[in-house]
Chains A and B, each alone.
Chain A
């Protein structure tokens, strides 16, 4: 059974810092991996999706990397801003090799990020 772990559980940084959020997963047979952002009381917003054949994806100040063989992904946020404060969730999508995943995502517990001015 796939398990996804995110470290740290919470992170507080001053504005302008570069930071790294970590995600690890136990089963490397994944189809792809997604990073989401969740604001308090809201749903999830997809930030980046990395296919299993890719090493990284970039969007603006965000860069996500994937090392499938070691079961790890990182989300790098450059020049953090107070508006980046949110919970960041990592989710892995099981491989369709078994024919039953149908896009099933397994989520980590999230990292609560606070960027203070």
Chain B
């Protein structure tokens, strides 16, 4: 068990470009979450998957954002036509649904800077 892994750690892109982030959850975890965190704030929920099904999306997730978890294992988050307001830390987390306790485990995040 190597924990939740996110790549890349940092991404600098120009406004208008597309970016994609990857998350590998803890191997036996069936729930996967994406959060966004800006300076001085708590993480904000974006979306979550149970296995390969995307079950909930926040209204923060505009149509420029899309997330996939094609085989119920790793997930990708794509942002199209990036804007400066998209600059943030993007956090992935996973948990095991159906267990008595299901604590959330976070990765180290991908820091996005849009110039």
Binding between chains A and B: no
**Chain B residues in the interface with A (C-beta under 8 A):** none
Q: Footprint of B on A, CB under 8 Å?
A: none
